[in-house]
Copies of this chain bind each other. A is one copy, B any other.
Amino acid sequence: MRTRQRILEAAAELFRDRGYSNTRLTDIAERAGVQTGSLYYHFASREALVGEILHIGMGTAWRHVHQAVDSLASDAAPIERVAAAIKAHLLVVLDISTIASAQSRVVNEVPDDVRAAHLDEQRAYGNYWRSLLEDAQRAGELDPGLDLYVFGVALFGMMNATTALQPERVGDAEAVASIIVGLVLDGVRVGRPKRRAR
């Protein structure tokens, strides 16, 4: 495998497991099987390396979520599109891409200038989610009184927290995704019918 790719993969595993601040360049080099100094042939700095992780990880999540939503029947209900997006995001961070997983773990931990450089793509992703939610709300399928800002923050907090699940204590990613989708759409309470739109 190309060295640059090995470095990115090694960095992603470590960032995902320990976070950015707790990962030394020597750790990354060791896991990638090179000397620390050699990293600088491929990346200008530690910050440039993590910046690349953010970029690739977000792109990967974006592509998978977008594709999952687009592959629904064109007459699919907006709420179905939201459900598909949630499932796709979870599959990506839990299963498909170590780099996407790392992105979600370290986004809020990196130095300000790295975040700033990443902000545009992060916002684009957020805007896409917001449009999905607004469509569902306009269609009367989401609680019309729901504050989408609060909901969005809560939703991402929940989804990204699932990367901390111990694999041996849960089923596969599909199983986790369906639990989360069920929780978000219908909650965990039994026996109290939902009220209709007010």
Chain B residues lying within 8 Å of A108, measured Cβ to Cβ, are 19, 164
Q: CB within 8 A of A191: which of B165, B184, B197?
A: B197
Per the 8 Å Cβ criterion, residues 175-189 of A in contact with B are: 176, 179-180, 182-189
B142 and A190 within 8 A (CB)? yes
Which of these binds chain B: A38-46, A57-65, A67-75, A143-151? A143-151
A150 and B176 within 8 A (CB)? yes
Which of these binds chain B: A6-14, A27-35, A120-128, A152-160? A152-160
A185 and B179 within 8 A (CB)? no
A97, CB-defined interface residue at 8 Å = no
State how many angstroms separate the Cβ of A175 from the closest Cβ of chain B. 8
A2, CB-defined interface residue at 8 Å = no
How many copies of the chain does the oligomer comprise? 2
* Interface residues in A, total, Cβ within 8 A: 49
CB within 8 Å for A189 and B146 given contacts A157-B158, A183-B154: no
A182 to B158, CA, bound (A): 15
Chain B residues lying within 8 Å of A109, measured Cβ to Cβ, are 19, 21-22, 109
Q: CB within 8 A of A153: which of B164, B186, B196?
A: B164
A170, CB-defined interface residue at 8 Å = yes
26 inter-chain pairs at a CB distance below 8 angstroms, sorted by A residue, are: A19-B21, A20-B21, A21-B109, A79-B189, A108-B164, A141-B190, A143-B190, A146-B188, A149-B169, A149-B170, A150-B170, A150-B176, A153-B162, A154-B158, A154-B162, A154-B183, A156-B161, A157-B158, A157-B161, A160-B161, A186-B187, A186-B192, A190-B197, A191-B196, A192-B194, A193-B194
Other A-B contacts than A142-B190, A147-B170, A185-B188, 11 sampled, CB-CB below 8 A, are A21-B21, A150-B162, A151-B179, A153-B162, A153-B164, A154-B183, A157-B161, A158-B158, A183-B187, A186-B192, A186-B194
